[in-house]
Amino acid sequence: MNLNHLLSVADFERSAQALLPRSVFGYVNGGTEDGLTLAANREAFRHVQFRPKGLAGVAQRSQSVTLWGQTWRQPFGIAPMGVTAMCRHRCEQHLAQAAAEAGIPFVLSGFSTLPMEQLRDAGLPFWYQGYIPGDQAVLAPLMQRLRTSGVEVLVVTIDTPIGANRENNQRNGFTIPFQFSNGLFWDGVRHPRWSANVFARTLLTDRAIPRFCNAVADTHGWRITEEPQGGLRQGRDKLDWRHMAWMREQWPGRIVLKGVAHPADAERAHRLGLDGVIVSNHGGRQLDGAQASLDALPSVVAAVPRDFPVMIDGGFRRGSDILKAMALGARLVFLGRPMLYGAAVAGQAGVARVIDILGAEIDRNLGLLGCRDVNALDGEFIVRSGPAPR
């Protein structure tokens, strides 16, 4: 496939939809219940409009950002995504390799199926995102494994205390734990490229059913087809601020909260000595009817000091979307689905092409905005076309 014919994230989305079985694409692309939050994430960008400045001398432009003393080439990274092996064999490695070559951060999901030690041994850096239970006996050995693997940034997801109502997955016959069915079999038959590149390669190369091998300290984890002892969510509903205070005492690296929507949570994270937050509604995959991430961003930014990093994910599809978030105070933007579309279509090369497209859009729009440096973006470059979010 000539990837140069794919000119936008939307092009990759359409290509991924044609390639993936309906049930798998529905899992990747869908939200919960009526899809209100999913739609709100995209709609929010329409209400933030650019206000360009002229005669700014934009021959030299920069989109690099610095976070905790480390400089990234572009103001975005790859968000954590679980079960990506359903889209590409050893998908996490494709994502990590593309991120490393592009000089952007990659966040490995705790619900990934490639052992983190393989990424470490390949010299591929990553942050780790965990679905953390409220149980110190489980947390302590997991954090030791993370330290041994050289993880410096621990991302704790706080918006999944219980499972969401993902009706679209049930209608498509897609469940976690994964269950085989006649419908899924014929879905795979109708998508031979996926069957060959994902299903067959997994069984023939790995000779085993993929496992959730990064969720706990035990490197074997459990098969994606089985329910672990204690349940899939393993006491996440017990997690509270006391556990975060304990983790702050135990963890020597950075701790970031992901799934922050309320400014009070960001303020408390700062007081507790955590290192940053990611404004997120889980890509519209948890609480339906929640505020769009972009709409939640300004109040979160206002609640914490300027040197406390506020990052964001949710609904980003264009470089212009990223610039709007930066102008509203985000330090870094994370994208999930667009990167997974790239991986599904063409592995590492597909992810790299998505990164290049976004980078080119950012560079072009910086010039059109009259802004030489992405770090100089602020409220002077945008206006709202609708009522300001509360």
DSSP conformation letters of 150-219: T--EEEEE-S-SS----HHHHHHT--SS----HHHHHHHHT-HHHIIIIIIHIIIII-S--EE-SSSSST
Residue 337 is which amino acid?
R
211 assigned binding-site residue: no
Residue that the structure tokens 């098969």 belong to: 223
Q: Of 177-181, 271-275, 382-386, which gets the smallest average pLDDT?
A: 177-181
Look at residue 20 in the predicted model and tell me its pLDDT.
95
Residue with tokens 């993902």: 166
pLDDT band per the 50, 70, 90 thresholds, residue 368 = very high
- Among the listed residues 89, 191, 270, 282, the single catalytic one is 282
The model carries a pTM of: 0.96
Q: What DSSP line would sit under 77-113, residue for residue?
A: EEPP-S-GGGTSTTHHHHHHHHHHHHT--BEEETT-S
DSSP-derived secondary structure letter, 62: B
Are 16 and 345 spatial neighbours (Cβ–Cβ below 8 Å)? yes
Chain segment 78-93, per-residue pLDDT in tens: 999 999 999 999 999 9
Q: Is 136 annotated as a binding residue?
A: no
Domains along the chain with CATH numbers = 3-384 (3.20.20.70)
Determine whether 5 is an active site residue.
no
Q: Are 355 and 102 in contact (CB under 8 A)?
A: yes
pLDDT at 237 over 80: yes
For residues 386 and 64, the model is more confident at: 64
Residue type, 296: A
262 is in an annotated binding site: no
Q: What is the mean pLDDT of residues 20-47?
A: 96
Helix, strand, coil percentages in the chain from 3-state DSSP, rounded to 5: 45, 15, 40
**pLDDT digit string (tens) for 370-385?**
999 999 999 999 999 8
User: What does pLDDT average to over the chain?
Assistant: 93
Is there a binding annotation on residue 70? Answer: no
pLDDT for res 222: 81
Asked if 46 and 193 touch (Cβ cutoff 8 Å), the reply is: no
Residue 103 backbone class (left: φ over 0; alpha: ψ -120 to 50; beta: rest)? left
**Per-residue model confidence (pLDDT) at position 206:** 75
Tens digits of residue pLDDT in 91-131: 999 999 999 999 999 999 999 999 999 999 999 999 999 99
* 129 belongs to an annotated ligand binding site: yes
Structure-model confidence comparison of residues 324 and 387, the more confident one = 324
Among 347, 370, 294, 354, CA closest to 318: 354
At residue 201, the pLDDT reads 83
Helices (H), 304-336: 319-327
Task: Say whether pLDDT at 250 is over 90.
Answer: yes
CB-count burial class (<10 Å; 0-12, 13-18, 19+) for 122: exposed
Q: Is residue 53 marked as binding?
A: no
Would you say 128 is a known binding-site residue? no
pLDDT band for position 168 (50/70/90)? confident
Is residue 30 marked as binding?
Answer: no
